[in-house]
Amino acid sequence: MATLQIDILGTSFAIEAKEDELYLNNLLKYYKQMVDQVESSTHLKDPHKTAILAGIMLCDELYKEKSNNKKISSVINTEDLYRAEKLTLQMIEQIDKIVK
């Protein structure tokens, strides 16, 4: 459990989480990078809009990663099933030779 002091977009507060301090600091650093990206590319002055847009960008990034992982898992599962089927057929062939 760690405490993280957040100072961003004119707001300050602390949170406690079940993660370690390094992890929480890395999350905050990544979020601040996203906020900086929003500020530099949109020139928004409203901190609420900036925070919301940064959150949406992070959700977009997460959604794309999850979709990509599902595709990769599907391909891996298909390849595993193909290999398992091939091995099973080879074993059946060997058993048939022994039984005959």
**Tell me: the pLDDT tens digits for 46-63?**
999 999 999 999 999 999
- Asked whether the beta carbons of 36 and 51 are under 8 A apart, the reply is no
d(CA 61, CA 85): 36
For 14, phi then psi, to 5°, come to -120, 150
- Tokens 């005959």 locate to 100
Query: Which range of residues forms the domain containing residue 27?
Result: 2-99
18 to 1, 2, 26, 75, 83: CA distances (angstroms): 4, 6, 14, 34, 41
The number of domains in the chain is 1
pTM of the predicted structure, to 2 decimals:
0.68
Quick one: average pLDDT of 36-54? 95
